[in-house]
């Protein structure tokens, strides 16, 4: 994906800006413009707290192109406290350390680089809640 | 120096990455264990961290303590010698991530290890002139030492963010500041070079001590204070010995500098070094405490600040993780993993 | 609507076909199907394929394959629905014949995967997920399935070892399939000791990357006798979709599109799951086999694994699956798989399944799953003879 794509989704990726349905109050992430709960338009931005729990997780040992340097890394479905599930990497965890129910918080981290000369792509990841 | 309007710290935030490289590892690899180690260990960023991401972490902690809407911030300034881009600000990434865009200034500052306090001086000026109410000054670095060089033992990583605003809202306010700068090439890095060069012992007497002591003494003279007037002090800490000697020459006791002296546990975090010492002090400060902050940046210069802690510090201290929480969160890595995380391994 | 039958099948051996290009693989399968159907011309060709652009640097497969097999000039297009591309091509062919737009239509599935190296193929396969919200975060397609498996094990209390029966069954059945990539049995121990890809999924949970092509020829059932004596009727053809990203589904462990497409198919065929004699399930991963069996109504929620453990999925079991090796044993040339599944059902219903023949097979079901359940295409075939 090119630079315009990353730029366009920056609000979501840097700080979890989703949407809230003004008809039924459902909070949506990723933003999807039509509320899956009540099928009404949902354009109002809503910034999520970033807190949640691990719903499921896996450690990736064979990475797609561009992610090889981070292997092994942990990916997860995170259940945000406002409701939605979100797919993301866990960071600051060791392989095998994650567990279902682990409390996590959102951080903005480097996702990958477009080579040594290209853009650096940032986005949300989750890490164990710091005490 | 004093601004027209009095300025203080509304919120502050620390960040130290999770990984630690014990100095004994550098010693093991490069001198077979025969050299001494200047510190215990240094903080190393993970493979997905850089100056921008670490700045965001510290800035978010500062915002948690400040409790203001980030859209009211009018300047986001990142002081660093290790920005992720040579051209393109790290500050815009930080401003975007914390939600301070678009009605804000944003820029990166460079003055070796004092880039962060340089940004802080500018923020005092901006808020103090009434041009804006809130400005964010950050010092952050993912420092690199040439493999095997003396700097490799200590070149660490961390960040500290300070949200400055009117004194009336502050948890600590600035009494005055003082800056002292000359052209002294004790440490530098040319474009396209991975690692800096340094003047070895030249970095001491004519560089660190001359500038740092002059700035500190200049501020004390201006305010008519001596070391005894301060509850705590923090000096730029490239190693343990330098700030200890500086403190002694200025008449500060070991106890006064102990809380802010972190270098042995996280290394020299460059632009974050003295600023992280200050976050550690503020984490434990009591209302009424007077604190001295003196940075040093190669090239060379020092900024000195005198701060008075207010009653608001108590309720804000626990709104974000303490500096010590980050220091306690540690995963030791060996030299090989360090080489991989810091991309010192050339795969061609 | 006209009743539709399959009058010809063709397939290539699945594997690392270093010497054959994408068009050669497709050509081999299409020509075999045409020979089997005793036809020399067709009205239309649908080519199911997912990755030709990414891996073989070739799109525009409809015209390319039509021309290569000597059908230059006919109507031909590529159909794409991730791993369900093969069945999607069949579905289009079915619609064309059933709707009276054409009489003789070929559906081909082809994938050429070995022209690229590991991480390129891994990236290409991940295109089946949600690009901006799953694969952006470094999830491989295996990782997406691993998230389902991890949660499934947690919710229903299964251990990784419990899934071994799916892989063991698939490999056992592949032994008698001359077109299979891995025609050799495996043990539970081999399953357990296989290399991890994205925990808990290991190499033995996963179907292999492979080259292959398969094709079927369709015509109206009332004309089938003119071509062949062993036509097989398509009793149902049903497609359902779901959110591409698993995080967008209210219950990730229930494959809604599997349920919907299977229910539609049962209704069209006028039968219930109990009537199905064999089921070519989409066992791309062991977890997918379990979830598919559950949502199709063969097992209660969380109990798909039990069917495998208790032998119900074996050739002589209550609901035999992967009877010619499945995706795991035969191999999974992604966009071709949906057609391979149907070819194998036809073999069973014709009584041509050799050592793997299901006795008195009358109803056979094939289900092709795109992504982690976002496009699900179910076909039910009925023996005519």
**What's B36's domain CATH number?**
3.40.47.10
The tens digit of pLDDT for each residue in C298-313 reads: 999 999 999 999 999 9
C55 touches chain A (CB under 8 A): no
Whether B126 and B196 map to the same domain: the answer is: no
Residues in chain B with CB shorter than 8 Å from the CB of A109 are: 48-49, 53
Q: Which of B118, B175, B236, B265 is catalytic?
A: B236
Which of B51, B97, B322 should we substitute to test contact with A (largest number of A Cβ atoms within 10 Å)? B97
For A69, name the nearest residue in chain B, comparing CA atoms only: B47
* Residue of A68, A70, A77 with shortest CB distance to C246: A77
d(CA B327, CA B340): 22
Facing A87 at nearest CB: one of C139, C140, C154:
C139
Residues B72 and B190 in one domain: no
Distance to chain A for C10, nearest Cα, Å: 33
Query: Is B68 exposed, middle or buried, given 0-12, 13-18 or 19+ CB atoms closer than 10 A?
Result: middle
Q: Which of A4, A52, A56 should be substituted to probe chain C, the one whose Cβ sees the most C Cβ atoms within 10 Å? A: A56
Architecture of domain C140-200+234-383: 3-Layer(aba) Sandwich (3.40)
Query: In chain C, which stretches have pLDDT less than 50?
Result: none
pLDDT of residue B345: 86
CA distance to partner chain B, nearest, from residue A14 (Å) = 5
- Do B153 and B23 share a structural domain? yes
Task: Residue count of chain C, please give it.
Answer: 385
pLDDT value for C118: 85
pLDDT tens column, A85-97: 999 999 999 988 9
Q: Which residues of A touch B46 (CB under 8 A)?
A: 91-92
Same domain, B14 and B162: yes
Whole-angstrom Cα distance, residue B141 to residue B295? 14
Look at B85 and A94 and tell me if their CB atoms are within 8 Å: no
Chains meeting A at 3+ CB pairs closer than 8 A? B, C
Distance, CA of C361 to CA of C347 (rounded, Å): 10
Asked whether residue B275 is domain-assigned, the answer is: yes
Q: What is the ipTM of this complex?
A: 0.96
Q: B57, B81, B169, B265: which one is catalytic?
A: B81
CATH superfamily of this structure's domain C4-117+209-224: Thiolase/Chalcone synthase (3.40.47.10)
In chain C, which residues fall in CATH 3.40.47.10? 4-117+209-224, 140-200+234-383
- Give the residue among C86, C47, C33, C44 at the shortest CA–CA distance from C333: C86
Whether residue B192 sits in one domain with residue B101: no
Report the number of secondary-structure helices (H) and strands (E) in chain C: 13, 11
Based on the fold, state whether residues B127 and B32 are members of the same structural domain: yes
Residues B158, B104 share a domain: yes
Interchain CB contacts (distance < 8 Å): A and C: 113
* Count of the separate structural domains present in chain B: 2
Cβ neighbours, 10 Å, residue A41: 13
Residue numbers in A near B99 (CB within 8 A): 15, 47
Q: What is the pLDDT of residues B181-218, one digit of tens each?
A: 999 999 999 999 999 999 999 999 999 999 999 999 99
C143 in contact with A at a CB cutoff of 8 Å? yes
Q: B28 and B150: one domain? A: yes
Q: Residue A131: its pLDDT value, please?
A: 66
Distance (Å, whole) CA B195 – CA B187 = 11
**Residue among A14, A89, A107 whose CB faces B57 most closely:** A107
- Percent of chain B at pLDDT exceeding 90: 95
Query: Of B137, B115, B114, which Cα lies nearest the Cα of B126?
Result: B137
Domain range enclosing B238: 172-313
CB B195 within 8 A of CB B189: yes
Query: In Å, how far is A113's CA from the nearest CA of chain C?
Result: 12
Report the alpha-carbon distance of residue B154 to residue A108 in Å, rounded. Answer: 26
Q: Which of C24, C44, C56, C49 is nearest to C338 (CA)?
A: C49
- For residues B68 and B140, membership in a common domain is answered with yes
The residues spanned by each domain of chain A are 3-128
Chain A residues inside the 8 Å CB shell of C201: 58
The residue among A62, A88, A95 with the most chain C CBs within 10 A of its CB, best to mutate, is A62
B251 plus B268 within the same structural domain = yes
Closest approach of A125 to chain B, Cα-based (Å):
10
CA separation for the pair C247, C130 (Å, rounded) = 10
Residue B188 and residue B295 in one domain: yes
- Tell me whether residue B232 is in a domain: yes
Q: With cut-offs at 50, 70 and 90, classify the pLDDT of residue A42.
A: confident
| Contacts with C197 from chain A: Cβ below 8 Å | 61-62
Rounded CA separation C329/C318 (Å): 20
| Chain A residues touching chain B at CB-CB below 8 Å | 10-11, 14-15, 47, 69-70, 89, 91-92, 94, 107-111, 120, 122, 125, 130-131
Q: Is residue B322 part of a domain?
A: no
Contact in structure between C93 and C2 (CB atoms under 8 Å): no
Cβ within 8 Å, pair C151-A100: yes
Question: Which residues in chain B come in under a pLDDT of 50?
Answer: none
Asked if residue B77 and residue B132 are part of one domain, the reply reads yes
Locate tokens 């006209």: which residue? C2
């Amino acid at each position: 994906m090119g630079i315009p794509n990353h730029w366009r989704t920056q609000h979501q990726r840097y700080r979890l800006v989703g949407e809230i349905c003004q008809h039924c109050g459902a909070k949506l992430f990723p933003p999807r413009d039509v509320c899956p709960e009540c099928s009404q338009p949902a354009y109002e931005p809503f910034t999520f707290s970033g807190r949640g729990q691990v719903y499921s997780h896996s450690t990736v040992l064979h990475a797609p192109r561009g992610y090889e340097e981070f292997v092994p890394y942990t990916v997860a479905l995170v259940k945000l406290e406002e409701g939605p599930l979100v797919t993301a990497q866990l960071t600051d965890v060791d392989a095998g350390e994650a567990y279902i129910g682990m409390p996590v918080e959102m951080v903005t981290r480097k996702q990958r680089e477009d080579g040594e000369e290209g853009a650096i792509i940032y986005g949300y990841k989750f890490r164990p809640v710091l005490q | 120096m004093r601004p027209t309007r009095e300025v203080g710290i509304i919120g502050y935030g620390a960040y130290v990455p999770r990984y630690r490289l014990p100095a004994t590892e550098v010693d093991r690899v490069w001198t077979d264990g025969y050299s001494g180690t200047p510190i215990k260990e240094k903080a190393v960023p993970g493979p997905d961290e850089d100056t921008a991401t670490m700045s965001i972490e510290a800035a978010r902690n500062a915002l948690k303590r400040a409790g203001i809407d980030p859209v009211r911030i009018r300047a986001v300034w990142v002081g660093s010698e290790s920005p992720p881009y040579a051209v393109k600000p790290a500050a815009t990434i930080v401003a975007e991530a914390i939600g301070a865009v678009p009605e804000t200034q944003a820029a990166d500052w460079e003055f070796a290890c004092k880039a962060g306090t340089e940004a802080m001086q500018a923020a005092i000026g901006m808020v103090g002139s009434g041009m804006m109410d809130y400005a964010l000054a950050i010092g952050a670095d993912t420092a690199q030492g040439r493999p095997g060089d003396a700097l490799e033992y200590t070149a660490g990583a961390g960040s500290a963010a300070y949200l400055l605003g009117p004194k009336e809202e502050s948890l600590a306010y600035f009494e005055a500041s003082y800056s002292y700068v000359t052209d002294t090439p004790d440490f530098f890095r040319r474009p396209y070079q991975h690692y800096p060069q340094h003047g070895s012992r030249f970095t001491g007497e004519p560089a660190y001590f001359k500038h740092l002591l002059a700035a500190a003494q200049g501020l004390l003279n201006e305010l008519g204070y001596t070391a005894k007037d301060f509850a705590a002090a923090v000096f730029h800490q490239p190693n343990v010995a330098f700030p200890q000697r500086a403190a002694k020459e200025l008449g500060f006791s070991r106890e006064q500098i102990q809380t802010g002296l972190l270098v042995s546990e996280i290394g020299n975090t460059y632009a974050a070094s003295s600023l992280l010492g200050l976050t550690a002090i503020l984490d434990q400060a009591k209302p009424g405490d007077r604190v001295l902050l003196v940075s040093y940046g190669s090239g060379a210069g020092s900024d000195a600040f005198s701060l008075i802690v207010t009653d608001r510090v108590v309720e804000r201290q626990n709104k974000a993780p303490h500096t010590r929480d980050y220091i306690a969160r540690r995963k030791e890595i060996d030299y090989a993993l360090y080489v991989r995380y810091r991309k010192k391994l050339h795969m061609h | 609507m006209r009743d539709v039958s399959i009058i010809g099948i063709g397939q290539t051996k699945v594997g690392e076909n270093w010497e054959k290009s994408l068009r050669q693989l497709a050509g081999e399968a299409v020509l075999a199907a045409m020979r089997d159907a005793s036809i020399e011309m067709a009205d239309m060709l649908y080519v199911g394929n997912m990755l030709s652009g990414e891996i073989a640097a070739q799109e525009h497969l409809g015209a390319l394959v039509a021309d290569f097999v000597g059908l230059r000039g006919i109507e031909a297009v590529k159909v794409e629905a991730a791993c369900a591309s093969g069945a999607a091509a069949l579905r289009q062919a079915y619609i064309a014949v059933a709707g009276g737009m054409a009489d003789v239509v070929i559906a081909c599935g082809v994938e050429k995967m070995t022209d690229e190296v590991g991480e390129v193929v891994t990236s290409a396969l991940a295109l089946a997920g949600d690009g901006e919200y799953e694969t952006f975060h470094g999830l491989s397609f295996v990782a997406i399935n691993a998230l389902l498996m991890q949660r499934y094990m947690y919710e229903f209390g299964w251990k990784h070892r419990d899934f071994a029966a799916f892989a063991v069954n698939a490999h056992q059945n592949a032994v008698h399939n001359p077109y299979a990539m891995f025609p050799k049995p495996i043990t539970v121990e081999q399953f357990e000791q296989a290399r991890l890809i994205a925990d808990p999924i290991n190499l033995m949970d996963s179907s292999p990357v492979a080259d292959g092509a398969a094709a079927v020829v369709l015509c109206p059932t009332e004309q089938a006798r003119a071509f062949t004596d062993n036509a097989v009727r398509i009793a149902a053809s049903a497609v359902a979709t779901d959110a591409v990203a698993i995080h967008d589904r209210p219950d990730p462990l229930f494959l809604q599109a599997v349920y919907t497409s299977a229910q539609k198919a049962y209704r069209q065929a006028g039968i219930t799951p109990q009537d199905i004699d064999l089921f070519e399930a989409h066992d791309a991963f062991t977890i997918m086999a379990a979830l598919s069996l559950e949502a199709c109504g063969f097992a209660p929620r969380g109990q798909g694994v039990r069917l495998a453990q208790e032998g119900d999925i074996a050739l002589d079991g209550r609901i035999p699956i992967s009877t010619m090796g499945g995706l795991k044993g035969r191999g999974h040339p992604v966009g071709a798989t949906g057609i391979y599944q149907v070819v194998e059902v036809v073999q069973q219903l014709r009584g041509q399944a050799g050592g793997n023949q299901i006795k008195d097979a009358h109803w056979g079901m094939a289900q092709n799953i795109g992504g982690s359940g976002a496009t699900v295409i179910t076909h039910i075939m009925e023996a005519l003879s």
